[in-house]
C-alpha cells in the first residue's frame, strides 16, 4: 500500500447511497446475504506498427452490481448506471434471478465467516498512466520501436501497451465497506525478421512482465522490490534485434529429450497453467468442468499428492508488492493473505472463496474471489502463485554451468494444457543450446511437452534469489460468462532434467 | 442522476455529433448489451446474472500537422454532459495521436430502417423456459448417477452507429447459447453438447441431453489407441474452432508484409493460389438466415483487421476460399490499398462448404472404416505462424470408429496440426450446419461448418484428462 488515496472523483460517486439503497432493498426482500459493488475500470490501449500509431483507445467501464443469497441460492444483477435508484432496482432483479434459478439448486450456498473490514487501499505505483499525455506515451513507444528498427535484420516492429486503473467499492450486509484502487501496466515490443532467400520469418518479443506499477515502469523508473524488477528497456531493446538475427538463421532443434534450464520469463507461464489453475478449488471440485476444465489435484489428494521434487515450494498470496493479483481485500470482503500451496513437493493448499471455504469446513476463505467488472459476479480467481527461490541456490551462470547438454529457454510464447491440467506444451522466445556448461548459440522450432507431475518431478535444481523474477499475465480467462483477471507469478530459474522437446516444423509435417 | 434522464442511444449519437461539429469528422458508436445467464456444476446452480449496460465510443477525426488523426474514447453515459466529456476527450486524444496511416473520408451515409428502435433486451424471463427443463434433466441424471455442468445464456447486443457523413445504422444481434457437460462413473466418463442460435428458448435442451447420454454410453468400452497420425472425424464444433483460427490469421497486411501463412515467397500474398481441396469454399455473408451478423463496419480502434475510418461501410458477402483457391484476405480500405488486394472487410460469421459433402455426423461416421470421432477441441494455440501450426487437445469424447460404427472411446490426445494443411487432407464431409465452437464460441458464435473427415490428423501425445 502507498500513501496515495483513492482518486477523489471515484470517492465522489454516490457510493454510500448505492450501498444503503441496495442492501436495504435486498434485506427487505429476504436476502440472507447481500453485497454491492461499484466498479470503474479505465483501460488504455496503444498499438504501434513500425514506429507509427496503428490504433489507440481509452475506455472507461463503470457500473454497479448486487449479489444476494436467497434461501441458499445466488442471484446477481448489474447495471451501468450508478445511482441509488438503480441500486435498489438491481437489488430487486438480483432477488428475482435467485428465485428464477431456484429449480436448479440442490445444494444451499453457505459462506465462511469473515471479520468486518472498513478501509481504503491503493496499490504501489509512482505515475498514474492516465496522467501522462497520450502524445508522450505514443512518443516513447515510437522511440523504443525505432531502436529495434535501426538494426538491419528487423523488417517490422509491433509495440503494444495496455494500462489499467481499477477502482472498486464493496459493501455487504455484515458491515464490511472497502474502497480500492489498483494500477497495472503491460508492454510488449516485437521485432520481425524475414529471410529474403527462403521467404521464412521469425519474430522475437520482449520479456518484460506485466506488473502492478504505473507509467514509471515504461521509462525504466521505479525501484526493484524483491522479484518485481525495474526494467532496463534500453538494454533489452538493443539486444533483441541481435538475438533475432541469430535466431533467423539458427538450426532447427533435433527433437528428443533434453535438460532444460528454464528462465523465469518462461517458467512463470508453466507455473500459471500447471500449478496456478490446477490448485483452484473450484476447478478441483468441478465448477469449471463445462468451460475452463477441472484438475487432477482433487481434494482427496490434499496432503499426499507428490506434485514435484522436495525442492518445490509454492505459495499463494494477494500481498506481494507490485503483484497483479495483490489487493487489500477480495471481492467478497476477505482480507489479503499468504499461504502454502505446495510444500516440500507435496500439495498442501488450495485457492478459495467464501462458499468453498465453508464447504471445506475451513474457518475462513483465503481471499481469492474476484469479478473483472461491475457486470460480472465474483468467482474464485487466481492469487499470485509463486515458486520460491532456493535461498542457497545457484546463480543463472552456475545453473547453466552445471548442464552438459541442454537448452536454456527464455521468454514465453505459445501455451496449451488439457482440461485436467495434466498434459501441456509450451514454446518460448529464445532457445539457447547448452554444451559443456556453456551457451553455444540458438536453435529454433522448440516446443516442450510434459505431464504436470512428471515435469515438476524432474526439477533437480532451483535457482537462487538472484534469478528470481515476478512474471505474470494481464488477462487470464475463466468462467462463463467469460472473465479476465491479472495475476503475477514469481519464480527463479530452474533445471528440469530429461524433458521431451518437439520440433514444431516436423510436427507440422514439413 | 435518475434513470429518467439517461439519454437514449439515438440521443447519445446526435449529441456526440453536435458536440464534435467543430472537428473534421466524428463517429459515435453506442453498444447496448443485455445478458441473462445461468450456470451450474455438480448438478446444482453456481452463478447467474442479469445485466444491462450502455457504452458509447466516440472517434474524433481531426486535421493535424502532416495529415489526419483519430482519437477514440469509450465510456458509460448517464447524462448529456457525459457525452460532451467523451467527445472532448476523444478530440484531445486525436490531437495527440499524430497522423493516421489509414486516414480516409468516412463512407457515404448509410441508413437502416430500424434506427429509431429501442435496444433489445434479455432478462431473467428468457431463462424461464430453460431452467425447468434443466431441472427435469437434473432429476433424471441423479437417478442415473450422472453429474451435470453447463451454462445457458441469452444475450442481445444492439449497436448504433452515427457518423458526421450521415450514417445512422442500427443492428440488433440476439445470441442464445446452451452448453451441457455430463460426467459419470466417478467422472471417468465425460461428454459435451453445445448449441447456439438467436434465441435460447428455441434450443432443443432434450436433444442435447440425449447426445450426452449417447456419448457416456459409448465410453463404457475403452479402446487403446496409440498417438500418431489417424483419420479424424471432426464434429462441426471441432471444425469451427480450427477454421475460426484460420480466419483470424488471414490479415492481408500481415500476408503482404511477409509474416503470415498467406505470404508469398518473394513478396505479396497468396491470393489466387490453390490452397486446398477444390471442393472447399469458405465464405461470409452478414445476411445469412440464422447467422445474421452486423452488416456494416464498426471499429473503435484501428488495426490490421479494422479501421476507424471505415465505420458505417456496408459489408458485402465475401468468398475467402473458392473451390480451393484463396480469393480474399481480411482488409480495410487502407490495408487493401497498401497491400494491393481486393477490399474484404471482416464479417462476423463464417461458413465452410465442401462440394459433395452430405449427411449428418452420424451419416459421415457410417462411411468411415477406421478413424477417431472428435467431439470438440480445446486450448488451441498457434505454435508456428509460418505454417499456422496449432496445438490443442481433444475434450469430452474421442470415439473409435471401426467399420462405420462407434465401438468405444479412446483417451484424449494433444494434437499438433495446421488448419491450412488440413484443407488439403479432407477425404469426406457432411452437411454444413450451424454450430457452436467449443473454444472460440465466446468470441465468434455465428459459424456453420460441416463434419470433416481428415486424413492423417496429428495426434501428438496422450492426454490423461477425463
* Alpha-carbon dihedral angle through residues B196, B202, B203, B207, given to the nearest 10 degrees: -150
* pLDDT-above-70 percentage for chain B: 99
Determine contact: A451 vs chain B, CB below 8 A.
Answer: yes
Looking at residue B380, what DSSP letter applies? E
Q: Give me B298's grid cell.
A: 464498426
Cβ neighbours around A8 below 10 Å, total: 7
Residues 295-324 on B with a CB inside 8 Å of A are: 300-304, 308
pLDDT at B3 over 60: no
pLDDT at B1 over 50: no
The pairing of strands B433-435 and B318-322 is unpaired
> What does each C-alpha distance from B386 to A282, B260, B326, B383, B389 come to in angstroms?
38, 6, 17, 9, 8
Coil, strand or helix at B412: strand
The pairing of strands A118-122 and A177-194 is parallel
Smallest Cβ distance to A375: which of B3, B53, B463?
Answer: B53
Residues 183-222 on A with a CB inside 8 Å of B are: 192, 194, 198-201, 203
pLDDT tens string A399-430: 999 999 999 999 999 999 999 999 999 999 99
Please name the helix (run of DSSP H) or strand (run of DSSP E) that holds residue A493, with its range, or none. Answer: none
**DSSP per-residue letters across B102-125:** T--PPPPP-B-TTTTSPPP---GG
> Under a CB-based contact definition with an 8 Å cutoff, are residues A21 and A85 in contact?
yes
> Under a CB-based contact definition with an 8 Å cutoff, are residues B445 and B293 in contact?
no
Distance CA A507, CA B416 (A): 6
pLDDT tens string B78-98: 888 899 999 999 999 999 999
pLDDT at A30 over 90: yes
pLDDT at B463 (0 to 100): 94
B445 vs chain A: nearest CA distance in angstroms? 14
pLDDT at A382 (0 to 100): 98
Cβ neighbours around B143 below 10 Å, total: 8
pLDDT tens string B374-398: 999 999 999 999 999 999 999 999 9
Using pLDDT thresholds of 50, 70 and 90, give the confidence band for residue B349: very high
Residue of A nearest to B93 (CA): A134
Do residue A199 and residue B42 have CB atoms under 8 angstroms apart? no
Cβ neighbours around B218 below 10 Å, total: 18
pLDDT tens string A431-478: 999 999 999 999 999 999 999 999 999 999 999 999 999 999 999 999
pLDDT at A100 (0 to 100): 87
Residues 219-278 on A with a CB inside 8 Å of B are: none
Distance CA A26, CA A32 (A): 9
Chain B residues closer than 8 Å to A270 by CB: none
Do residue A81 and residue B147 have CB atoms under 8 angstroms apart? no
pLDDT at B160 over 80: yes
Q: Give me A297's grid cell.
A: 489435484
Mean pLDDT of A236-252: 97
Do residue B302 and residue A138 have CB atoms under 8 angstroms apart? no
Domains along chain B with CATH numbers? 9-216 (3.30.2290.10), 221-296+314-466 (no CATH)
Distance CA B202, CA A468 (A): 54
Q: Which residue has the cell 502463485?
A: A385
Smallest Cβ distance to A192: which of B52, B259, B465?
Answer: B259
Of the two residues A107 and A336, the one the predictor is more confident about is A336
Selected residue of A423, A445, A500 to mutate for chain B interface (largest B Cβ count, 10 A): A423
Burial tier of A224 (Cβ tally within 10 Å: 0-12, 13-18, 19+): exposed
Q: Which residue has the cell 515510437?
A: A142
Mean pLDDT of A223-247: 97
Chain B residues closer than 8 Å to A450 by CB: none
Mean pLDDT of B40-64: 93
Question: Which of A127, A54, A130 is CA-nearest to residue B92?
Answer: A130
Mean pLDDT of B104-112: 97
Q: Which residue has the cell 449479489?
A: A67
Do residue A56 and residue B97 have CB atoms under 8 angstroms apart? yes
Residues 108-147 on B with a CB inside 8 Å of A are: 123-124, 127-128, 131-132, 134-135, 138, 142, 147
pLDDT at A228 (0 to 100): 97
B166 vs chain A: nearest CA distance in angstroms? 23
pLDDT at B4 (0 to 100): 47
Question: Which of A149, A55, A56, A71 is CA-nearest to residue A108?
Answer: A71
Please name the helix (run of DSSP H) or strand (run of DSSP E) that holds residue B175, with its range, or none. Answer: strand B168-184
Residues 340-379 on B with a CB inside 8 Å of A are: 378-379
Residue of A nearest to B443 (CA): A482
Question: Which of A316, A293, A270, A277 is CA-nearest to residue A459?
Answer: A270
pLDDT at A2 (0 to 100): 62
Residue of A nearest to B39 (CA): A480
A404 vs chain B: nearest CA distance in angstroms? 28
Residue of B nearest to A193 (CA): B259
Chain B residues closer than 8 Å to A373 by CB: none
Coil, strand or helix at A195: coil
Do residue B76 and residue A58 have CB atoms under 8 angstroms apart? no
Of the two residues B21 and A1, the one the predictor is more confident about is B21
Question: Which of B327, B301, B297 is CA-nearest to residue B310?
Answer: B297
pLDDT at A103 (0 to 100): 83
Peptide bond preceding A481 in cis form (omega within 30 of 0) = yes
Burial tier of B288 (Cβ tally within 10 Å: 0-12, 13-18, 19+): middle
Do residue B124 and residue A418 have CB atoms under 8 angstroms apart? no
pLDDT at B2 (0 to 100): 39
A470 vs chain B: nearest CA distance in angstroms? 24
Task: Give me the residues paired with residue B52 across strands.
Answer: A79, B34
Name, in order, each residue with C-beta under 8 angstroms of B5's C-beta and a sequence gap of 6 or more: B79
Of the two residues A1 and B455, the one the predictor is more confident about is B455
Assembly ipTM? 0.93
Determine contact: A414 vs chain B, CB below 8 A.
Answer: yes
* Stated pTM of the model: 0.96
Name, in order, each residue with C-beta under 8 angstroms of A454's C-beta and a sequence gap of 6 or more: none
Distance CA B306, CA B204 (A): 36
pLDDT at A206 (0 to 100): 98
Do residue A507 and residue B416 have CB atoms under 8 angstroms apart? yes
Determine contact: A143 vs chain B, CB below 8 A.
Answer: no
Phi and psi at residue A383, in whole multiples of 5°?
-80, 180
Task: Give me the residues paired with residue A62 across strands.
Answer: A40
Q: Which of A52-56, B121-125, B330-334 has the lowest mean pLDDT?
A: B121-125
Using pLDDT thresholds of 50, 70 and 90, give the confidence band for residue A509: confident
Using pLDDT thresholds of 50, 70 and 90, give the confidence band for residue A3: confident
Of the two residues A445 and B124, the one the predictor is more confident about is A445
Determine contact: B257 vs chain A, CB below 8 A.
Answer: yes
Mean pLDDT estimate for chain A = 96
Name, in order, each residue with C-beta under 8 angstroms of A20's C-beta and a sequence gap of 6 or more: A84
3-state SS of A222-233 is CCCECCECCCCH
> Under a CB-based contact definition with an 8 Å cutoff, are residues B312 and B26 in contact?
no
Name, in order, each residue with C-beta under 8 angstroms of B210's C-beta and a sequence gap of 6 or more: none
pLDDT tens string B298-321: 999 999 999 999 999 999 999 999
pLDDT at A104 over 90: no
Determine contact: B74 vs chain A, CB below 8 A.
Answer: yes
pLDDT tens string A207-227: 999 999 999 999 999 999 999
Smallest Cβ distance to B93: which of A54, A134, A288?
Answer: A134
Question: Which of A305, A304, A280 is CA-nearest to residue A294?
Answer: A280
Burial tier of A87 (Cβ tally within 10 Å: 0-12, 13-18, 19+): buried
B437 vs chain A: nearest CA distance in angstroms? 12
Please name the helix (run of DSSP H) or strand (run of DSSP E) that holds residue A57, with its range, or none. Answer: strand A52-70
Amino acid at each position: 500500500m502507498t500513501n496515495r488515496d483513492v482518486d477523489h472523483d471515484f470517492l465522489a460517486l454516490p457510493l454510500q447511497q448505492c450501498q444503503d439503497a441496495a442492501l436495504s432493498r435486498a434485506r427487505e426482500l429476504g436476502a440472507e446475504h447481500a453485497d454491492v459493488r461499484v466498479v470503474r475500470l479505465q483501460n488504455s490501449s496503444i498499438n504501434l506498427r513500425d514506429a507509427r500509431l496503428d490504433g489507440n483507445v481509452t475506455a472507461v467501464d463503470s457500473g454497479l452490481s448486487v449479489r444476494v443469497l436467497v434461501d441458499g441460492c445466488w442471484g446477481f444483477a448489474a447495471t451501468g448506471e450508478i445511482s441509488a435508484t438503480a441500486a435498489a432496482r438491481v437489488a430487486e432483479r438480483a432477488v428475482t434471478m435467485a428465485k428464477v434459478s431456484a429449480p436448479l439448486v440442490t445444494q444451499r450456498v453457505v459462506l465462511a465467516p469473515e471479520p468486518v473490514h472498513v478501509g481504503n487501499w491503493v496499490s504501489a505505483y509512482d505515475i498514474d498512466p492516465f496522467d501522462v499525455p497520450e502524445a508522450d506515451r505514443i512518443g516513447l513507444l515510437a522511440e523504443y520501436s525505432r531502436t529495434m528498427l535501426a538494426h538491419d535484420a528487423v523488417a517490422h516492429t509491433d509495440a503494444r501497451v495496455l494500462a489499467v486503473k481499477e477502482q472498486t467499492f464493496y459493501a455487504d450486509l455484515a458491515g464490511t465497506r472497502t474502497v480500492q484502487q489498483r494500477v497495472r501496466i503491460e508492454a510488449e515490443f516485437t521485432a520481425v525478421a524475414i529471410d529474403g532467400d527462403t521467404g521464412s520469418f521469425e519474430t522475437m518479443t520482449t520479456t518484460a512482465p506485466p506488473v502492478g506499477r504505473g507509467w514509471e515502469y515504461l521509462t525504466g523508473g521505479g525501484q526493484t522490490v524483491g522479484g518485481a524488477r525495474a526494467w532496463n528497456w534500453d538494454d533489452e531493446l538493443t539486444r533483441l534485434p541481435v538475438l533475432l538475427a541469430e535466431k533467423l538463421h539458427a538450426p532447427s532443434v533435433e527433437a528428443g529429450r533434453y535438460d532444460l534450464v528454464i528462465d523465469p520469463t518462461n517458467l512463470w507461464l508453466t507455473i500459471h497453467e500447471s500449478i496456478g489453475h490446477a490448485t483452484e478449488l473450484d476447478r478441483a471440485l468441478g465448477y469449471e468442468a463445462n468451460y475452463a476444465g477441472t484438475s487432477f489435484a482433487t481434494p482427496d489428494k490434499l496432503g499426499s499428492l507428490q506434485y514435484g521434487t522436495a525442492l518445490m515450494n509454492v505459495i499463494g498470496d494477494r500481498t506481494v508488492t507490485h503483484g497483479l493479483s495483490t489487493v487489500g481485500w477480495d471481492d467478497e470482503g476477505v482480507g489479503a493473505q499468504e499461504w502454502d500451496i505446495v510444500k516440500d513437493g507435496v500439495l498442501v493448499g488450495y485457492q478459495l472463496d467464501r462458499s468453498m471455504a465453508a464447504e471445506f469446513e475451513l474457518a475462513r476463505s483465503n481471499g481469492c474471489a474476484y469479478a473483472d467488472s461491475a457486470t460480472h459476479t465474483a468467482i474464485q480467481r487466481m492469487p499470485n502463485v509463486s515458486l520460491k527461490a532456493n535461498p542457497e541456490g545457484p546463480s543463472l551462470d552456475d545453473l547453466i554451468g552445471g548442464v552438459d547438454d541442454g537448452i536454456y529457454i527464455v521468454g514465453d510464447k505459445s501455451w496449451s494444457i488439457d482440461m485436467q491440467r495434466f498434459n501441456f506444451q509450451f514454446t518460448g522466445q529464445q532457445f539457447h543450446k547448452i554444451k559443456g556448461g556453456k551457451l553455444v548459440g540458438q536453435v529454433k522450432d522448440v516446443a516442450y511437452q510434459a505431464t504436470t507431475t512428471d515435469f515438476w518431478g524432474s526439477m533437480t535444481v532451483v535457482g537462487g534469489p538472484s534469478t528470481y523474477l515476478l512474471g505474470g499475465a494481464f488477462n487470464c480467462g475463466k468462467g462463463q460468462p467469460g472473465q479476465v483477471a491479472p495475476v503475477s507469478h514469481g519464480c527463479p530459474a530452474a533445471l528440469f532434467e530429461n524433458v521431451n522437446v518437439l520440433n514444431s516444423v516436423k510436427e507440422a509435417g514439413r | 442522476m435518475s434513470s429518467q434522464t439517461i439519454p437514449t442511444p439515438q440521443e447519445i449519437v446526435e449529441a456526440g455529433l453536435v458536440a464534435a461539429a467543430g472537428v473534421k469528422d466524428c463517429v459515435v458508436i453506442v453498444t447496448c448489451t443485455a445478458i441473462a445467464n445461468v450456470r451450474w456444476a455438480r448438478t446444482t446452480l453456481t452463478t447467474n446474472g442479469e445485466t444491462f449496460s450502455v457504452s458509447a465510443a466516440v472517434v474524433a477525426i481531426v486535421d493535424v500537422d502532416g495529415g489526419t488523426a483519430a482519437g477514440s474514447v469509450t465510456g458509460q453515459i448517464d447524462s448529456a454532459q457525459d457525452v460532451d466529456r467523451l467527445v472532448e476527450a476523444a478530440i484531445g486524444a486525436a490531437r495527440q495521436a499524430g497522423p493516421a496511416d489509414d486516414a480516409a473520408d468516412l463512407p457515404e451515409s448509410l441508413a437502416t430502417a430500424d434506427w429509431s428502435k429501442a435496444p433489445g433486451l434479455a432478462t431473467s424471463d428468457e431463462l424461464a423456459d430453460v431452467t425447468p427443463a434443466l431441472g427435469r434433466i437434473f432429476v433424471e441424471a441423479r437417478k442415473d448417477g450422472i453429474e451435470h455442468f453447463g451454462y445457458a445464456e441469452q444475450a442481445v447486443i444492439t449497436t448504433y452507429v452515427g457518423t458526421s457523413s450521415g450514417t445512422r445504422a442500427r443492428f440488433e444481434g440476439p445470441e442464445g447459447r446452451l452448453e451441457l457437460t455430463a460426467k459419470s462413473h466417478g467422472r471417468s466418463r465425460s461428454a459435451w453438447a453445445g448449441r447456439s442460435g438467436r434465441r435460447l428458448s428455441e434450443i432443443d435442451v432434450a436433444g442435447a441431453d440425449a447426445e450426452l447420454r449417447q456419448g457416456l454410453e459409448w465410453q463404457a468400452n475403452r479402446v487403446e489407441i496409440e498417438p500418431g497420425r489417424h483419420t479424424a472425424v471432426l464434429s462441426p464444433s471441432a471444425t469451427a474452432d480450427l477454421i475460426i483460427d484460420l480466419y483470424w490469421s488471414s490479415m492481408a497486411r500481415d500476408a503482404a508484409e511477409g509474416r503470415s501463412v498467406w505470404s508469398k515467397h518473394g513478396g505479396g500474398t497468396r491470393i489466387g493460389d490453390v490452397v486446398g481441396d477444390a471442393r472447399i469454399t469458405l465464405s461470409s455473408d452478414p445476411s445469412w438466415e440464422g447467422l445474421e451478423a452486423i452488416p456494416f463496419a464498426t471499429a473503435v480502434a484501428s488495426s490490421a483487421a479494422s479501421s476507424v475510418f471505415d465505420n458505417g461501410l456496408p459489408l458485402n458477402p465475401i468468398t475467402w476460399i473458392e473451390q480451393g483457391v484463396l480469393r480474399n484476405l481480411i482488409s480495410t480500405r487502407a490495408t487493401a490499398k497498401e497491400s494491393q488486394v481486393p477490399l474484404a472487410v471482416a464479417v462476423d460469421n463464417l461458413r465452410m462448404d465442401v462440394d459433395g459433402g452430405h449427411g449428418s455426423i452420424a451419416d459421415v461416421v457410417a462411411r468411415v472404416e477406421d478413424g477417431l470421432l472428435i467431439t470438440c477441441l480445446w486450448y488451441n494455440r498457434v505454435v508456428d505462424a509460418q505454417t499456422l501450426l496449432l496445438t490443442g487437445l481433444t475434450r469430452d469424447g474421442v470415439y473409435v470408429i471401426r467399420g462405420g460404427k462407434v465401438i468405444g472411446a479412446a483417451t484424449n490426445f494433444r494434437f499438433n496440426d495446421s488448419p491450412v494443411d488440413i484443407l488439403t487432407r479432407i477425404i469426406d464431409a457432411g452437411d454444413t450446419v450451424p454450430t457452436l465452437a467449443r473454444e472460440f464460441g465466446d468470441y465468434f458464435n455465428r459459424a456453420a461448418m460441416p463434419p470433416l473427415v481428415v486424413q492423417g490428423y496429428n495426434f501428438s501425445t496422450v492426454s490423461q484428462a477425463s
